[in-house]
Amino acid sequence: MATLLALVASVRHLWRLVRIAFVLARHDALFPLELLGVAPGITLVARVIRRPGQGRPGQRLAAALQALGPSFIKLGQALSTRADLMGDQVAADLAGLRDRLPPFPGSVARATIATDLDRPVETLFQTFDDVPVAAASIAQVHFAVTAEGAPVAVKVLRPGIEAAFARDLALFSWMAALVERTVPASRRLKPREAVRTFAETVRLEMDLRFEAAAAAELAESFAGDPGFRVPAVDWARTGRRVLTTERVLGIPISDRAALLAAGHDLHAVMANAAGAFFQQVFRDGFFHGDMHPGNCFVAADGAVVAVDFGIMGRLDLATREFLADMLVGFLDGDYRRVADVHFAAGYVPPSQSRDAFMQACRSIGEPIFGRPLAEISLARLLGQLFAVTEQFEMEAQPQLLLLQKTMLVAEGVGRHLDPTINMWTLARPLVEAWMVEHRGPEARLRRGLDEALAMARRMPALLDAIEALGEAARTGVRLHPESLRARGADRLAQWALALAVVALAAALFALAG
């Protein structure tokens, strides 16, 4: 039965692939299927109806994905972070893919709200605008005023969107498995893992309670920060398919003329944006992953206000330390350091030549840092670094790919605001201060003490267990767990001195390091 079901699913996926190939062919964008070698027979047939397209390949592919619908628009946005898969130019063209779709009726939005929140819309809001202010692939946004008189923005999921995405995600998973099976060289790029990551991102986006939680977490991280704000969540009017937040009043960060007319200092705006971005990445390890200009506004006091928290990135401490070391290494022209941190992190296998990798890093860094300061792009640097992964058998790092896409967008906004200023120059002191705090002698001392304390807490139980095993081996008697716990309590005082000794040794070791 399982084999029959798998066969039926494969036939269904193949038929959908035929339809997709024909859409790609009509837009002269078959090259992804040709590049991956997926179903060459289908691709060959689709070529018959290929029409010569206008624009670059990436632009034609973006148009085709737009025609294929919401799941494929989101897929294109995800692929825009994978220059290693698509190439720099195609990835850049896909980065401009915006999921603007025709809105669904306001009556449907009202029905969704009433069902999800189990209350009539009239009791929740004094007014509710049936015409949305924005309509995207997964949801659309309406302005409203709450029963208490607060102006809010209400995000409502599209009807039937969960089923549509589930069908397409099943197809993407099947295609990724097919590619790994038929194109062994693709396994290094982890297509199945990339689809799993994409599926997880979409799953979170389609439960608006997760987005509300992300907004609340980011707001908490920046509580009291005058340069960056997050709209408050109205939890009483938020559910799985509805998200209500305070309405943002401000000028889109990309509207340079309006910002100048309002008297804003563009240098201060850039400093706020750069500072907030680096605090998210390095201090918190939790960053907004979709910071395109439509999601950023400048308030009357000059603060940057972000919206739309469906795509968020997380970086653990080890990844943040790697990133800080690597970026500072590039900025200082210390390519040996750049190579060392890649090998230390395990991103480059030890079988590869450290000297050759250092040379590759220099070939990336020198042309970039030889340009005027205002033209330096760290996002471009990361993109080129990921592009050399095949030669050195580096595995793709999904969390860094999302970060690179976000950096690329942030750089574009900064360059539009003031082409003479490099936003990374504004943020470098923050990175260096973070490194002193987390990599300096005091940080090593704290970490050494923490490790020593953890080790000391484990030692009594570990040694008691060893002693008990020895006793059991000699006598053939099995000790009850309560006996072991009682013995541990009796010996706790004996370990107080050992704890102090271990902590002192760890502190000396950390200082010596």
* pLDDT for residue 513: 47
pLDDT value of residue 5: 67
Q: Are residues 90 and 113 in the same domain?
A: no
In a domain, 170, yes or no: no
pLDDT at position 220 is 96
Q: Is residue 338 part of a domain?
A: yes
Residues 109 and 84 in one domain: no
Q: What is the DSSP string of 128-163?
A: E-SS-SEE-SSEEEEEEEETTS-EEEEEEEPTTHHH
Domain membership of residue 474 as a residue range: 441-512
Question: Do 91 and 137 belong together in one domain?
Answer: no
Say if residue 447 is in the same domain as residue 420: no
Per-residue DSSP letter, 16: H
Q: What amino acid is encoded at 337 in this protein?
A: R
Q: Determine, yes or no, domain membership for 28.
A: yes
Residue 37 gets the label, from left (phi > 0), alpha (psi -120 to 50) or beta, of left
Residues 312 and 409 in one domain: yes
Same domain membership, residue 62 and residue 112: no
Q: What pLDDT score does 226 carry? A: 93
Burial letters for 160-199: b for 16+ Cβ neighbours within 10 Å, e otherwise?
A: ebbebbeebbebbbbbbebbbeeeeebeebbbbebbbbbb
Q: Are strands 151-157 and 242-246 parallel, antiparallel or unpaired?
A: antiparallel
Task: Please state, as a whole number, how many other Cβ atoms lie within 10 Å of the Cβ of residue 58.
Answer: 25
Among 206, 177, 212, 209, which residue's Cα sits nearest to residue 191? 177
Partners of 229 in the β-ladder: 305
Element (H, E) at 125: strand 125-128
Which one of the listed residues 290, 308, 325, 464 is annotated catalytic? Answer: 290
Q: How far is CA 339 from CA 229, 365, 367, 381, 467, in A?
A: 37, 12, 18, 14, 46
Q: Are residues 406 and 486 in the same domain?
A: no
Tokens of 217: 């977490």
- For residue 171, is it within any domain? no
For 72-109, b/e burial (b = at least 16 CB within 10 A) is bbbbbbbbbbbbbbbbeebbbbbbebebebebbebeeb
CA 270 to CA 249: how far, in whole Å? 19
**Burial code of 458-489, b = ≥16 C-beta within 10 A, e = fewer?**
eebeeebeeebeeeeeeeeeebeeeeeeeeee
Phi and psi, residue 403, nearest 5°? -60, -40
- Domain boundary residue, one of 200, 223, 247: 247
- Residue ranges of alpha helices (H) inside 121-249 are 121-124, 161-182, 191-205, 208-221
Q: Is residue 159 part of a domain?
A: yes
Q: Is residue 143 part of a domain?
A: yes
Q: Which has the closest alpha carbon to 414: 307, 314, 310, 275?
A: 275
Per-residue pLDDT of the chain (513 residues; tens, 9 = 90+): 667 767 777 788 888 888 888 888 888 887 777 766 666 767 766 666 777 777 888 888 888 888 888 888 888 877 776 666 677 778 778 876 766 678 999 999 999 999 999 999 999 999 999 999 988 888 999 999 999 999 999 999 999 998 888 888 998 898 888 888 877 767 766 788 878 888 888 888 899 999 999 999 999 999 999 999 999 999 999 999 999 999 999 999 989 999 999 999 998 998 898 889 889 998 999 999 888 778 899 999 999 999 999 889 899 988 888 888 888 788 788 999 999 999 998 888 889 999 999 999 999 888 877 676 667 777 777 877 877 766 787 776 767 778 877 887 788 788 888 887 777 777 777 777 777 777 656 655 655 666 666 666 666 666 665 665 556 555 555 555 555 455 555 555 555 555 555 555 555 555 544
Residue that is last in its domain, among 73, 99, 125 = 99
353 Cα distance to chain centroid: 30
Tell me, letter by letter, the H, E, C secondary structure of 326-346: HHHHHHCCCHHHHHHHHHHHC
Residues 6+ apart with CB under 8 A from 124: 113, 117, 146, 147, 237
- For residue 23, the tally of other CB atoms under 10 A from its CB is 18
Rounded to whole angstroms, the Cα distance separating 218 from 202 reads 20
290 has catalytic annotation: yes
For residue 419, being part of any structural domain is answered with yes
Same domain, 144 and 188: yes
Q: Where are the beta strands (DSSP E) in 45-115?
A: none
What's the domain count of the chain?
A: 4
DSSP bridge pairs for 125: 146
Measure the N-to-C terminal CA separation of the chain; round to a whole number of Å.
61
Bridge partners, residue 286, by sequence: 314
Q: What are phi and psi of 226, to 5 degrees?
A: -75, -15
Contact call for residues 387 and 83 (beta carbons, < 8 A): yes
In a domain, 172, yes or no: no
Of 349, 323, 334, residue with least CA distance to 438:
323
* Claim to verify: residue 7 and residue 55 sit in the same structural domain: yes
Burial level of 340, CB count in 10 A (0-12/13-18/19+)? middle
The reply to whether 51 and 73 lie within a common domain is yes
Q: Which of 201, 217, 247 is the last residue of a domain?
A: 247
> Does one domain contain both 231 and 259?
no
Residue 128 belongs to domain with CATH number: 3.30.200.20
Are residue 277 and residue 425 in the same domain, yes or no? yes
